[in-house]
Structure 1
Amino acid sequence: MKRHLNHITFTRLTATLALAVGLSAIAAPSMAANKPSSSHAKAAAPVAASGPLPANAVARVNNVFITQEQVDAMLKATNTPDTPQTRTAIKNQLIARELFRQAAEKQHYDTRAQVIEAVEQARSLAMTQAYLRDQVRPTPVTDADVKARYDAIVATLGDKEYKPSVIAVKDEATAKDVLAQLKKGTDFAQLAKQYSQGPAAAQGGAMNWVSFKTPIQPGATQGWPQPVAEAMVKLPQGGLTTAPVQVGDAFWIVKMDQERVTQVPDFDTTRAALRQQLEQVALQKATAQVVVDLMKNASIQQQ
């Protein structure tokens, strides 16, 4: 068995042990109680090792309660149906994990270097996330912002929209070889999967619909390289570029799968997606500003 268990392996192990737990009385009063460390989670606080379970507890493992809140939290996290069978399975998994924890603590695994490092990393991450939640304050996105973004996008659309497939390779010789194979009738998608280092290669190079105002203007190509956009709008439906289109160190081959009159999406159908995009941009800007402010008072040395 590998020394370090990944999350999937750990989950399988706990599920296996949970089954065993479900078939045995693990919380018998005759069991000796092991006192948990003070660092143990609040949800499993030390209590008396005998007596009836309180209303919020579903099990006791030696002297540690498994609470209903823990079961509810795992049920929500796993997004599984809320059934008695599911709750029993989750309870047994929590019992198994608590058994693991107690056994590891008893053998002083909490003092091992790798455990201490993992705890410190988790603490650092939680602290950083809490700090960012308090300090990063994105500018709120208004309805007017969303509508302005929609209008700006619509203004960039041309009369036609295009659905191309592309193959992008790193050298001209390969591009010419691919073109030669295409002219002999080799399937475009097959060659894209075999040769392309460009977008959507795994999908045979097939791209989404895109529209440009013509003639093509710099910066108005919806993120496409301008030479490719210029070649694209000149192709008839079903057409193929006769020579590779060079973009920097790459060479592109474009096939025009379909073209049609531009279908302008309704504002109401795009509102939510546009708001999400703008909120993400606002979050990135606010985060960058926090970094800039911190750097002003920091001493940073780099190579």
Structure 2
Amino acid sequence: MPFFQFTFKDLQMMSIKSRILLASAASLFILSACNGKAGNAPAAGDVAATVNGTPISKGSVDQIVGQRLAMGQPDSPETRKAIINQLAMQMLVSEEAIKKNLDKTPEVVDQLNLTRQSILANAFVQDYTKNNPVSDDMLKAEYDKIKAHRCQVPNTRHAISWWIRRL
């Protein structure tokens, strides 16, 4: 059973401050909200909340908790509840946007495509760095090459052309 159940009336009851927070974080959730494939539904035990029958996975909550931990914010039940509320509001607003066919406007389609490309590019970089670790020896060797060449380069323009030739 999910922790929370939300409807559009619940959104209307929330404060202006919460709505502003929603707007600032909408890009985190809009891509997954508009990509509602039936096969992507979380298992019953993995549901943190349900919004108009649509589940919010614990994985989504955990992902945002991880981002906040990286920024130095603590993980607490209150933090998780606030994240769930934020995701619920985002889902409600995105559902209303879809009802108004805003997801079909050229501007929104472009934004969704750019967001998707950015997410995929980040996933590629993370996968590459995970599968191709850089050792301390490799870093030191590269540092030594750059340091030695820097002593030989008379100005910035020459340094830039040297870097370009290395690529």
**TM-score interval, smaller chain:** 0.5 to 0.7
1:73 and 2:69 equivalent?
Answer: no
Residue in 1 that maps onto 2:111: 118
Residue in 2 that maps onto 1:40: 36
Residue in 2 that maps onto 1:102: 95
SS in 2 for 1:59: strand
Question: Which digits, 9 at most, give the CA deviation of each residue in 1:194-235, with x for residues without a partner?
Answer: xxxxxxxxxxxxxxxxxxxxxxxx9469989xxxxxxxxxxx
1:59 and 2:49 equivalent?
Answer: yes
Please point out which of 13, 16, 19 is paired with 1:13: 19
Hey, what's the Cα distance between the residues in 1 that align with 2:103 and 2:54? 18
Considering fraction of residues, name the structure with more strand: 1
Q: CA shift at 1:40, angstroms?
A: 2.5
Ranked by relative contact order (alpha carbons within 8 Å, sequence separation 6 or more), the top structure is 2
Hey, what's the Cα distance between the residues in 2 that align with 1:63 and 1:13? 21
Hey, what's the Cα distance between the residues in 2 that align with 1:69 and 1:113? 30
User: Contact 1:43/1:67 (CA < 8 Å) preserved in 2?
Assistant: no
Hey, what's the Cα distance between the residues in 2 that align with 1:118 and 1:82? 31
1:143 and 2:137 equivalent?
Answer: yes
Hey, what's the Cα distance between the residues in 2 that align with 1:16 and 1:110? 17
Hey, what's the Cα distance between the residues in 2 that align with 1:83 and 1:67? 17
Total equivalences in the alignment: 131
Output the aligned Cα RMSD: 4.9
Gapped regions of structure 2 (runs ≥ 5): 1-16, 24-32, 157-162
Q: Percent identity?
A: 21
Hey, what's the Cα distance between the residues in 2 that align with 1:54 and 1:134? 29
Gapped regions of structure 1 (runs ≥ 5): 1-10, 18-36, 48-52, 156-217, 225-283, 290-303
Considering fraction of residues, name the structure with more helix: 2
SS in 2 for 1:40: coil
Hey, what's the Cα distance between the residues in 2 that align with 1:16 and 1:147? 47
* Alignment CA distance shift 1:66-1:44 (3 Å): farther
Question: Which digits, 9 at most, give the CA deviation of each residue in 1:100-132, with x for residues without a partner?
Answer: 111111111111110111122233444555667
User: Contact 1:44/1:64 (CA < 8 Å) preserved in 2?
Assistant: no
Hey, what's the Cα distance between the residues in 1 that align with 2:19 and 2:152? 55
